Amino acid sequence: MQDEHASAPDWRRAETYRPMLGAEPAVWAWEFARRGLVNNGLTAAEPNLPGLCFADPGPAGQRLPAILWRPDPCAAIVLVRAARANASDALDLAGCDLPILVVRTELGDQQVLICDGPRRLRLAVIEGDILNGPVTCQLALPEPGGAAAGLASLRALIALRDTGRLPAATSRPPSRAKRWLESLQAHDARRAGASQREIAALLFGQDRVREDWAGRSDYMRMRVHRLLRTADRLVAGGYRSLLGTSAKPWPPRVNVVETWRSAAWFGQCAVLTAMAGIFLEMLWLCAGLLHEPCGFA
C-alpha cells in the first residue's frame, strides 16, 4: 500500500479538507481509521485493519484516495459472479474508458472500484474473472439491511453496461459529511497542539472568537467539545458504523496477490493506449520482415 495519505492535511487550511465533502462512506471510514493507527503509534502505510482490503492514492487528477473494504463489513458492495459471454448485453470492464481498480486477494475473489469523477461503484467478484470480458454478472442477494445500497449499486452497474458511465446518483455524499469534516479538522488540530480557542477560530472565524469566546455563552466551547468527542469515537473504532453494517466480528485483513488498473486510472485514454500498442506491434513486425531473407533465388 502507498503512504501518500499517511499524513494529515494542514489543519489550518480548510481547502485541504474540502475534497472530503464529496467522499463516500468507504473513504470517510478510512480517514478516521488511519488516524486511529497514528494515535496508537502505528503506520498508515501498511495498516492491519480488520476488513480493509486495499488502499491506493486514487486515480490521476483526483484528490480522494481509493479504498477497498471487504464486502463483509461494507453494505454498498455488490456481490457478483462473472461468466464469460459474447452477448451484446455483457459487461467489458477492460474496454471501459473509466478509472478502474481491480485487485485479487489470496482468497481468489476480486475487489473492484470503478470511478467516474466523484461517482464510485464497488463490486466484489466472488466467482470468475471480471477482466476476462465481456462477461455477464449474476448478482448475489445483499445482506439483511443492505438492500437499499445494493439496489443503488445495481442501477449503477446497469447504467455502466448500457452507457459506459456511472449515473449522477451513484455514491452520493453522506448527509453528515460536513460534521465529519469538521471533526477530522478539529482532531488534527488538537493532535498538532492547537488549543480549543484556535479550533473554534477554524469554525467561526477569528472575529467571532474575539467577540464571543469570553462571553456569557459557552456555545463555542461546547461545539468544539462535541466535534472532538465525535472524532474520538470514530477514530477509536466507530468508523466501522460508517460502512453501513454491524458485522461482528469483522473479517481479518487478507493479502492482495494481483492488482490491475485501467489506462484511465493513470490519466491515459484507453483507446489511444490500445492504438499505440497496435502501432508498436506493426512496427515490430515490419522491422522483422526487413531483416528476413527474401526467399527468391
Q: What is the pLDDT of residues 30-40, one digit of tens each?
A: 999 999 888 77
Predicted model pTM: 0.82
- Same domain membership, residue 203 and residue 260: no
Report yes or no: 130 and 112 within 8 Å, Cβ to Cβ. yes
Within 10 angstroms of residue 36's Cβ, the number of other Cβ atoms is: 19
Is residue 233 assigned to a domain? yes
Alpha-carbon distance of 196 to 158, in angstroms, equals 49
Q: Find the domain containing 219 and state its range.
A: 177-239
pLDDT tens digit string along 200-223? 999 899 999 998 888 888 899 999
Q: Are residues 182 and 80 in the same domain?
A: no
Shared-domain flag, residues 110 and 194: no
What is the chain's pLDDT, residue by residue, as a tens digit (297 residues)? 444 444 667 889 888 899 999 898 999 999 999 998 887 776 655 567 888 999 999 999 998 999 999 887 777 788 999 999 887 778 999 889 999 999 999 999 999 999 998 889 999 999 999 999 799 988 887 666 666 667 788 889 889 999 999 988 666 678 899 999 999 999 999 999 999 999 999 989 999 999 888 888 889 999 999 999 999 999 999 999 898 766 567 778 889 999 999 999 999 864 444 444 455 455 545 555 454 544 433
Looking at residue 280, its pLDDT comes to 44
Q: Is residue 293 part of a domain?
A: no
Give the chain's radius of gyration (CA, Å): 23
Q: Whole-angstrom Cα distance, residue 268 to residue 219? A: 50
Q: Distance between CA atoms of 222 and 250, rounded to whole angstroms?
A: 34
Q: What pLDDT, on the 0 to 100 scale, is given for residue 144?
A: 65
Q: Peptide bond before 73: cis, by omega within 30 degrees of 0?
A: no
198 and 79 in a common domain: no
Q: Is there a single domain that holds both residue 212 and residue 121?
A: no
- 136 plus 235 within the same structural domain: no
Cα–Cα dist 122/113, whole Å: 5
Residues 22 and 87 both lie in one domain? yes
Among candidate residues 154, 173, 152, the one with its CA nearest the CA of residue 162: 154
Tell me whether strands 256-261 and 100-105 are parallel, antiparallel or unpaired: antiparallel
Instruction: Find out whether 74 and 118 touch, Cβ atoms under 8 Å.
Output: no
- As a residue count, the chain comes to 297
42 and 96 share a domain?
Answer: yes
Residue 297 falls inside a structural domain:
no
Strands 119-127 and 78-84: parallel
What's the pLDDT score for residue 59? 95
d(CA 90, CA 68): 24
Judge if 58 and 137 occupy the same domain.
yes
CA pair distance 200, 76, nearest whole angstrom: 35
CB distance 112 to 101 below 8 Å: yes
Number of domains in the chain: 2
Q: What is the pLDDT of residue 196?
A: 94
